[in-house]
Chain A
Amino acid sequence: MRDVAVLGVGMTKFGELWDRSFREIGIEAGLQALVDAKLSSGDLGALYLGNMASGSLIDQEHIGPLILDYAGLGDRHLPAVRVEGGGASGSLALHQGYLAVASGLYDFVVVGGAEKLTDVPDATGNQITSSAADHEWEVVFGGTLPALWALIARRHMHQYGTTREQLARVAVHAHAMGAKNPNAHYRNPVSLEQVLAAGPVAEPLGVFDCAPLSDGAAAVVLGPMERAHRYTDQPIRIAASQVACDAMAVQHRRDVTTLDSTVVAARRAFEQARRAPADVNVAEINDAYTISALVALEDLGFCEKGRAGPEFESGRFGPNGELPVNSSGGLKAQGRPFGAVGVAQVVELVRQLRGEAKDRQVKHASLALAHDVGGTGATSVVTLLERGS
């Protein structure tokens, strides 16, 4: 296995992109990444595309060749593979691209993630995305993604004393960061009072505790580290890429308040990179729901189990804290186009490691962590990125 570098990144604006089609946003992100990598499309070996539900959302399956075709690469006959893992589809695609380059099978690949969620009404979008949970034994009984995460939240509050205000802080933080990100779905700061006063979705979670349904696409170009300097002065090395899965339904987990998939993916990633949680300077973590972020901070090893609420409140994970998280605005404010999320996390972290994050630049960023979750935690993907030397 050889070292793999991120050579280029690109992403569209996230949000309600009424005037843009699935294929348009997919191609825009991919071409941006190719231009950023100073790579000609003739050098590419394959395309991996993360997408959760194009069949239900836009009546279009078989989107690998669709994007390849409209990127002008149809006659190159490259393999174009769609990868699905609920909300973690983008990171899973990244993992496939990483494996392909690391193995030596291909030299250069594009990894994209794209989702078009606003071509269906909100209720339909929520119903389709809830299929990342266990349909037969959760959804049929009245479960939705926010309701299932609310079950995790209520138990976390019961066991550890996590408060409603601590949950709300996660949303306040996300919107404050989104305000600095021109690509973010939401660029309006919100106050703690606004989050607490918002209408309920699934108690204790309200409207502001839940990430939106967004359109958007993101892409990265991967290549072998040993050849990276021909393309960029600032190659970013993938120090680890790890996937872990767990029981599909919350009811079957070892511990309702812990995502074992995250615990294991993080442990494997830190082992692979020979690093520890304390070495990470900047992170993009899953905050699909405010509780998701608190549980993630614990399960990734950034704080003790049950302590994320007070530690988040203390500012430790804020822009001037010890470990700034979700400088992009996270899923909550940057947006949540399911299959694009994991790739967009890597785009943000590459920009941080290159020092290109402008108003939201984190100081002294050298090791970055991306954490992506499918459903309620049946899949977690942890990626470690390191500034190359």
Chain B
Amino acid sequence: MSIARFWRETPRRYNLGGSKCTNCGTAYFPPRSVCPTCARHRESIGKMVPFQLSGEGEVYSFTTVHEPAEGFEMQVPYVLALVRTVEGPMLTGQIVDLAPEEVRIGLKVRATFRKLREEGKAGVIHYGYKFAPVEETAVRPPGGSRTAVGTPATPEGDRAPA
């Protein structure tokens, strides 16, 4: 994936910037230029505004992945989940800081800023949101740091192309 292709989604992947339709009030992530709820009446055109998700939500469904997507080979097994955010939009992301067997539907989670994948040894490192449990069951991984999504960050490997 080219650097620009990933870089241009930074506001969404780092900061959970979505959009909201001022006509019907529905929030979307990733942002949309047309509201699917109002689109058929063309009432939403020009009425979508930026909307910040809090990152709070709960697990709607999950799977423990053993045959990984490209770039996730070092993370298997990992838990991928659908997370229903408190603002409404559903997101797809990994559940971290919890043993796979402890993940359950309804688990309260919060978005956390992590490394997603690396493009080989010399390639670009992709960062973005994952989800960690809100409960006290959370286990901090050795050496792992936690950065709340929304915090301005300039992680290594994420430099805009010149």
Contacts and interface: CB of A to CB of B under 8 A. Distances in A.
A44 B30 CA distance: 46
Contacts of B105: 154-155, 158
A140 B61 contact: no
A195 interface: no
A140 B91 contact: no
B66 A155 contact: no
A214 B44 CA distance: 44
B69 A127 contact: yes
A99 interface: no
Interface centre among B60, B65, B105, B126 (most CB of A within 10 A): B65
Interface in B1-52: 1, 6, 9, 13, 30, 36
Contacts of A141: 80, 92-94, 116, 128-129
Interface stretch (A53-61, A112-120, A196-204): A196-204
Contacts of A249: 92
A250 to B, nearest CB: 7
A86 interface: no
Interface in B65-82: 65-70, 72, 75, 77-78, 80-82
A248 to B, nearest CB: 11
A151 to B, nearest CB: 4
A165 B26 CA distance: 39
Interface in A28-82: none
B54 interface: no
Contacts, number: 103
B30 A151 contact: no
A52 B13 CA distance: 28
Dominant secondary structure at the A interface = helix
Nearest to A138: B92
Given A140-B128, A141-B128, A142-B116, A201 B30 contact: no
Nearest to B13: A140
A130 B93 CA distance: 16
A370 B70 CA distance: 32
A144 B64 CA distance: 12
A152 B126 CA distance: 26
Contacts of A201: 65-67
Contacts of A203: 63-66
Nearest to B91: A251
B67 A126 contact: yes
B67 A143 contact: no
A199 to B, nearest CB: 7
Contact of A140 (B77, B81, B89, B126): B126
A302 B77 CA distance: 36
Interface residues of A, number: 36
Interface bin, chain B: 35 or more
Contacts of A192: none
Nearest to B78: A142
A256 interface: yes
A142 B83 CA distance: 14
Contact of B62 (A130, A136, A154): A154
B80 A154 contact: no
Nearest to B126: A140
Interface in A136-172: 136-144, 146-148, 150-155, 158
Contact of B81 (A123, A144, A151, A200): A151
A137 B80 contact: no
A251 B92 contact: yes
Contact of A136 (B9, B61, B77, B129): B9
Interface string A225-268: 00000000000000000000001011110001000000000000
B124 interface: no
B90 interface: yes
A285 B131 CA distance: 35
Interface in A86-125: 123
B101 to A, nearest CB: 10
A202 B92 contact: no
B128 A202 contact: no
Contact of A127 (B9, B60, B63, B70): B70
29 contacts: A126-B67, A127-B70, A137-B30, A140-B6, A140-B126, A141-B94, A141-B128, A142-B94, A144-B68, A148-B92, A150-B65, A151-B61, A151-B63, A151-B80, A154-B62, A155-B60, A155-B61, A155-B82, A155-B105, A199-B66, A200-B64, A201-B65, A202-B66, A202-B67, A205-B63, A250-B92, A251-B90, A251-B92, A256-B60
**Nearest 5 pairs between A and B by C-beta?**
A150-B63, A155-B61, A251-B90, A203-B64, A151-B61
Interface of B: 1, 6, 9, 13, 30, 36, 60-70, 72, 75, 77-78, 80-82, 89-94, 105, 116-117, 126, 128-129
Given A142-B94, A151-B92, 13 more contacts: A130-B69, A140-B1, A140-B117, A141-B92, A141-B94, A142-B78, A143-B80, A143-B92, A153-B63, A155-B105, A202-B66, A247-B36, A251-B90
